[in-house]
A and B are shown apart, each in its own frame.
Chain A
């Protein structure tokens, strides 16, 4: 075993002394994780979950009633916080032009008579015209425009619910004789005042929604970095293991492997040492990335015991794939190209770039990648999962490792890769 470990540690040391290799092993995943943190606003302070902020929205309030003002006030309310940055405009045409010129995500144009169309005043009674709010959206900012639309829809939904409550309450009072027709306006005003004192959405009293994760716990706030960082860490793992494969082929072609074999070292020790070196390099890469992202970015990776089990399993499965791919090619150049392609394909199929709409067969295919099981395991741990929650992932990763190792060994034996 001593010889095996000597070879393994020698390869580990060589890998981490190769400054060019370190670019993709450590610098690239760290740079991308840092970039993700920057673009998602994770490092911008305040709300540390990242996401949209300061969406420019233009408010044109042509209504002189309470509802127009209430809607305009929603965009500067504490509930909305820094999500939007309202900009006042005087004319609808100017607002539309600003949206069309891409200086705002959307414009909310509240027409004259909007309040009267919902709460007819005594003066307007009998001549109420329907009034529709216009939401001008910017097609170049679909996400921001969608957020503004949902804010306006939520407000209108609440207004509509209050209107219906008021109308039903008054109609029923009149129908049942509790209020005389001549007293409708004063009854409606009194009802409105009571609603204003207790303005909670009426539906909240009828139906409540309990939000839980698939493990039964309350869902954590969305954290863009926690969602994407494990994917980035695992994306470049395939580069590391196939780089190791390329080194192995280079040693064979350069004759250093043959020289090793004439020493009093068995072929099993040599190949075992090489494989162990590859595994240790992969293990160190993931461990360093986890440690660095914890220290530098404050990422929470979860239960340390779970990590102790999951990280070696991921490294082992990736090593198996590295050996398998190496066993099918002839030259270091071939495995380098194949490794880069595998890195990216495994990334997209295994979820390193996020969850995309994949058909069933590609989702199934993705299950052969260490990325899919590893990312799911890291996500479970990061969201408070325990050892038991990731056991299926660990078993799957070990199964991938077993199968890929077995096939690789058979292939190496067939090709006489390591012969005395």
Chain B
């Protein structure tokens, strides 16, 4: 088999030039991937356009009492939530406009020391993913403010169990002293929990790593599957048959087309990784060799799958539709959109039949856990296995006519 590389690269270059003569190609090659990575990866957080990426909790402080202020003070140090104090009408408008995860209403009657207890209202939009985070913060703050009151009440009950108070004033005085003591103890409570992480991980985990990795794989994978449309186009127009009259072998023609797509994918991945490092300040640059070890086999598996798909479909429109659908579904199931850890156990195991799963896990190992080439080598080998199987099936079924 004659594999003159100059001819192969000439065909690859020709295909690339044709593809990038269309504005649409540029949109899908780089513009949309960057837009999606930036937006879904929280790129606006901390940019000044949006002050931070914490969950926004609006507080309506109708009580305006020292205890209500204690509650606000207890919310202030929570790292995952930032609070804004607004009037009720403004708060409701913000919630309705989806500009806040939840609204906490501290009513006029809020007084935890009252015999009937105190009530807070927590308003959220249904099925809001951020609301549980705000809710946990409110529960912790309520615990912080409420526990001294509860402790003081228990102290009063214990005293009353031994000897009844002379009158209400004596009971109140006993309660006040117990409350002051409990508040001091709460303020001085020792640290009981130490959260540690692997010492091998040189940096803090960033949620944007997941998003950036997932978007990279999604946007590279779909165009690779679209190779099937390229074959459908060539078959429909008979251009491949025309090329067969040139002094280029069938293998050169086929490889030229695939090499062009493969190199385009590598350039696209390099651009997206660079964007992640420079603009999103992600940790992609820590393990460049590991990235290469993983992403080259991933691109090969995509090229091979696109080739195989091209032998099953009949028209370009079919190929385009299937590429988008399969690409999106495989990205979703491979953990590129939502972390694999939230998948049910059986599903988590089953999705290992997809190349996207192995690629995504490898990327998380590199950028999330700080692991190197040796750690992602098994993933790379599996991806090469996928590439081999897809390519063999595609090659066996491939017809130039």
Contacts and interface: CB of A to CB of B under 8 A. Distances in A.
B195 A137 contact: yes
A169 B160 CA distance: 11
Interface string A143-154: 110000110110
A357 B44 contact: yes
Question: DSSP class of A's interface residues: helix, strand, loop or mixed?
Answer: helix
B129 to A, nearest CB: 6
A181 B124 CA distance: 50
Interface stretch (B247-255, B296-304, B319-327): B319-327
**Which among B45, B126, B150, B321 has the greatest number of chain A C-beta atoms within 10 A?**
B126
Contacts of B124: 211-214, 219
Contacts of A304: none
A136 interface: yes
B201 to A, nearest CB: 5
A48 interface: no
B159 A165 contact: no
B163 interface: yes
Contacts of A140: 341, 364-365, 368-369
Interface string B150-184: 11111100110011000000000010011001100
A354 B119 CA distance: 32
Interface residues of A, number: 108
Contacts of A141: 339, 341
A385 B338 CA distance: 28
Interface residues of B, number: 111
Question: DSSP class of B's interface residues: helix, strand, loop or mixed?
Answer: helix
Given A41-B347, A144-B341, A208-B117, A133 B194 contact: yes
B234 interface: no
B245 to A, nearest CB: 28
Interface string A182-225: 00000000010000000001111111111111100001101100
Interface of A: 18-21, 23-24, 27-28, 31-32, 35-36, 38-41, 44, 51-55, 96, 99-100, 102, 105, 130, 132-144, 149-150, 152-153, 156-157, 159-161, 164-165, 167-169, 171-173, 175-176, 178-179, 191, 201-214, 219-220, 222-223, 226-227, 333-334, 336-338, 340-341, 344-345, 348, 353-363, 376, 379, 382-383
Given A20-B320, A31-B325, A161-B143, 4 more contacts: A23-B318, A51-B342, A135-B195, A209-B120
Nearest 3 interchain pairs by C-beta: A337-B24, A202-B150, A23-B321
10 contacts: A100-B198, A136-B197, A136-B198, A157-B140, A160-B189, A164-B185, A172-B177, A202-B146, A223-B127, A379-B125
